[in-house]
Chains A and B, each alone.
Chain A
Amino acid sequence: MTNRLEVDAVFKRYGDVVALREMTFEVHAGELFGFVGSNGAGKTTTMRIALGVLAADRGEVRWDGRPIDLESRRRIGYMPEERGLYPKMPVGEQLIYLARLHGQPPTVAKRSVRAWIERLGVAAHRDDEVQKLSLGNQQRVQLAAALVHDPALLVLDEPFSGLDPVAVEIMSEVLREKCAQGVPVLFSSHQLDLVQRLCDRVGIVRGGAMVACGSVDELRSGASSQLVVDVPDAPRGWADGIPGVTVCAQDGTRTVLELPQDLDDQVVLKMALSTGRVREFAWRPPSLVDLFRNVVSDEVAG
């Protein structure tokens, strides 16, 4: 049992539109994998193919080295992008039903539902119809629906969208906990700071293919770091004259610079000191937002 999810060269076309081209990546046991990309990049299509809701034209999704089939799908916890539950069915009954559909025996299903609605703070709504719940609580029930059958793999499409800060905390905690139990967790999100904070590895998707994949540190290597210099007394354009230096941004008294590899940053410091006080002089590793922006700007350029 390697408990590893492999997406291998998956290709999907809708009419003339190619949605996925050779999408390839792996999610290992006990790993939180964040899936980021612009809308329409292919994240949802990949997840739907993994769940068998959509058929791939080519390529394969494997779990434990075997192509995913009906039997293994029942052990996946899934949160579709399009949230959906029966609006008129009571919360508890609905979750038990979903757990049973995933193959759980009745007593186990009941116990598991009770535990999860308590954990996710919706136990008081057990007998209420889903449509009577607030949107935030509906999201919690949706998450419970992905968890009640004790899944061995989690695939969550935008699990954080629409959640209040408390629910975001609970959700993050649950994902980390599942991960610690050895469950591979794949989730997509537009909240890049959250992805950076949570994930062991990140995959950036563009135009239906994986363009960058690895830990945030791995993704940073290769990308140039930025130098932040705060010089309150300096005139505008103080750094323009330094050869090789690019001014990325001017934020109040702070200037964000990019330096070529061979340039000594002490040159920049001397220049800064010559303008007066220096309140801050720091190298900043690129955030996931920066990395993502690079990828997107490549996309625009290319």
Chain B
Amino acid sequence: MSSAWQPVALVARREITTRIRSKGFRIGTLVLLAVVVAFPVVLRLATGSSAHSVGFTSQNASLVQPFVAVAEASGANVKTATVPDQSSGQQQVRSGALDALVVGSSGSIQVVVDRTLDEGLRAAFIALAHQQALDAQVRHLGGDPAQVSAAVASAQLDVAALEAAPEINGQRIALGIVTGVLIYLSLQTWGQVVAQGVVEEKSSRVVELLLSTIQPWQLMAGKVLGIGQVGLVQIAIVAGGGAIAGLVTGALTIPASAVAGTVVWLVVWYLLGFFSYALVLAAASSLVSRQEEIAGVVGPILMLLVVPYVLGISILPSKPDSRLIEVLSLIPLFAPTLMPMRLAFGGVPVWQAVLAVAPVVLMIPALVWLSGRIYRNAVLRTGARVRLREALRAS
């Protein structure tokens, strides 16, 4: 057993050293990492969820507390600052350091802005004005404003939903999109590297020299395992690096365990997807002898990656609970692209996550057998494209 696997290890090691040393791998990994790290930050800036800064003067410092309270209640993200006087405050508004400056007092609130007042802030200020007017009236009627506020705050609305609505969270969407892009790019890239590697050996005729000393299955297994490991290293660096950067910079505030879960699932599905597709791609590319012919044989197979990816990336962000995607993600051919995306978007029942893995794991040995047979019968036949039926027939 060990002697049969030794050539496999040698072939795999050659693939790993050749690929990792290549400039393409290093640059590709760095670019992907940069994109993944930058994406949540860019998304956060684009959706404008950063805190608005509101300045107060010393005359109306008493408004800070109530303002923060109403802003919190209305969901506006604010931070407050006290400015020495009105003119310096206005300077800061003009320079953009402050989004709004509160002047006047509790009786008549005035807000100074550069051009327009943010809608979220406007709602908060109106709520503040209402609150102030209400407090004044309560006081006037001899009541205690604090007591009234407490009573109002305790009155709540209970909503009984018949079906749990998915929680749409901007960060989850970002995570889902990044996961989708990563799994798709990885499977596409490394699948094609396998196909090119097989044809490189055929077109350079080195395959005959190799197969005079090792068996076809050893060459194919070594190639797939070696390239698979290179892809694994890349996706682990990119996904792990992106997750750590997101958590450290605070761009990701969802629980670290959820982020880690997404990364682990991504890697698991990369492995399952890579081995499924790489074996088939190796067999398909062994039918042709020239690099120009690769697209013709691997194109139809790669469409099986493209279609679910396009569906997933266009449907899931707005509708993470899409029934169509749910069903497709349980089908072995589409699971490698769709399941990790769904898992990143969140809300996947555990039974589905597990159920999707099982058929893929069962499918791989069948693919090993089938691909090994095609490869063995086709890889030494250079020249015209080998017909699939001939390759399947025993030589």
- Residues of chain A at the chain B interface (Cβ within 8 Å): 48, 51-55, 70, 73-74, 76, 78, 80, 82-89, 97-98, 100-102, 145
Contact = CB atoms under 8 A, between A and B. Distances in A.
Given A83-B205, A84-B207, A86-B206, A53 B395 contact: no
B212 A84 contact: no
Interface in B299-351: none
B50 to A, nearest CB: 49
Nearest to A74: B213
Contacts, number: 56
A53 B205 contact: no
A78 B205 CA distance: 13
A110 to B, nearest CB: 14
A55 B216 CA distance: 13
Interface in B214-265: 214-215
B214 A84 contact: no
Given A55-B395, A97-B10, A85 B212 contact: no
Contact of B7 (A76, A82, A89, A101): A101
B358 interface: no
B127 interface: no
B10 A76 contact: no
A71 to B, nearest CB: 9
A51 B209 CA distance: 9
Q: 4 closest Cβ contacts across the A-B interface?
A: A84-B205, A84-B206, A82-B205, A51-B212
A160 to B, nearest CB: 18
B208 interface: yes
B214 to A, nearest CB: 6
B204 interface: yes
Contacts of A73: 212-213
Interface residues of B, number: 22
A83 B205 CA distance: 6
Contacts of B14: 97
B10 A53 contact: no
A84 B379 CA distance: 14
A164 B14 CA distance: 32
Interface string B1-22: 0000001001100100010000
A254 B208 CA distance: 49
A87 B291 CA distance: 14
Contacts of B213: 73-74, 76, 78, 101-102
B200 interface: yes
Given A84-B207, A85-B206, A78 B10 contact: no
Contacts of B208: 48, 53, 80, 82, 84
B215 A53 contact: no
A86 B18 CA distance: 11
B138 interface: no
A98 B18 CA distance: 15
Nearest to A149: B213
A87 B206 CA distance: 9
A74 B14 CA distance: 19
13 contacts: A48-B208, A53-B208, A55-B395, A73-B212, A74-B213, A78-B213, A82-B205, A83-B205, A86-B201, A86-B206, A87-B200, A100-B10, A101-B10
Given A82-B205, A100-B10, 17 more contacts: A48-B208, A55-B395, A70-B215, A78-B213, A80-B209, A84-B207, A84-B208, A85-B204, A85-B209, A86-B201, A88-B18, A89-B18, A98-B209, A101-B7, A101-B11, A101-B210, A101-B213
